[in-house]
Amino acid sequence: MPSWLEQLLVGQLFHFILVFARIGTAFTFMTGFGESFVLARARLVIALGTALVMTPVIAPSLPPMPAGPLDLAVLLIGEILVGIVFGTATRLVMSALELAGTLVAFQSGLASATVFNPMISTQGALPSVYLAVMAMVLMFQTDLHHLTIRALAATYGVLTPGQLPPVGDFTEFVVRLIGEAFLIGVQISSPFLILITVMYVGVGLVSRLMPQIQIFFITLPLQIGLGLLLLVLVSSSMMLVFLEYYATVISSMFAPR
């Protein structure tokens, strides 16, 4: 084999491995693709295909192959770190729904109603699982997973391979994202916070006016019934707010400044 052809093949393989280090790690943690119910082989095939498509586009901006194995290891670790941060960022955005579902469960009297949550592979409150599964279905139905992959490709315009990852900026970004997710989670669950608070004020007044009534036996079924009714009525609005928030955050968090 001619030396120039050998160098070309080695260079292309190096570029592919470098791109796959970031993309494969991101797909491992990313919302939708990194869930426990997704087969590891399917996730690997999708990550390999995505890296194969992106490599020719990103190759001009990639650094040359390092001379020593230590430099190569440092380069790959940096790419893996960026992939972890990106995948974790999408998880933090989804945590807004986990918080909203938890608040809905407490306000509706369903905190003890737990089922298996396939998103986190453990038990979760019923409203949290309901909102998470519905959001996941809508994300794929509305092609938001394409937006996530485009955002992953856009990270190469901000975090160039071969440069030291900005750990301080990563920390600040994660803290800010947690705060935003908490705020959106409270806003999504605000109808339940308002309704159940008003209900308890009315129940308190009835308890004062007629203390002989066993108000607890009346309140709990009313609380659960109102919570379920309100969940049916506002589920679509909750999903619209969350999907808009997800699209806004994902499309802007790694966009070139």
Is residue 76 very low, low, confident or very high in pLDDT (cuts 50, 70, 90)? confident
Dihedrals phi, psi of 255, to nearest 5 degrees = -75, 145
Distance (Å, rounded) from C-alpha 180 to C-alpha 170? 15
**pTM for this prediction:** 0.80
Question: Do residues 24 and 83 make contact, with C-beta atoms less than 8 angstroms apart?
Answer: yes
Whether 41 has a pLDDT exceeding 80, the answer reads: yes
The pLDDT tens digits of the residues spanning 79-135 come to 888 888 888 888 888 888 888 888 888 888 777 766 666 666 666 778 888 888 888
Question: Do residues 125 and 107 make contact, with C-beta atoms less than 8 angstroms apart?
Answer: no
| Residue 47: closest CA among 58, 36, 55, 56 | 55
* Bridge partners for 114 per DSSP: 125
Whether 19 has a pLDDT exceeding 70, the answer reads: yes
Element (H, E) at 161: none
Is residue 1 very low, low, confident or very high in pLDDT (cuts 50, 70, 90)? very low
The pLDDT tens digits of the residues spanning 210-250 come to 777 777 777 777 878 888 888 888 888 888 989 899 888 88
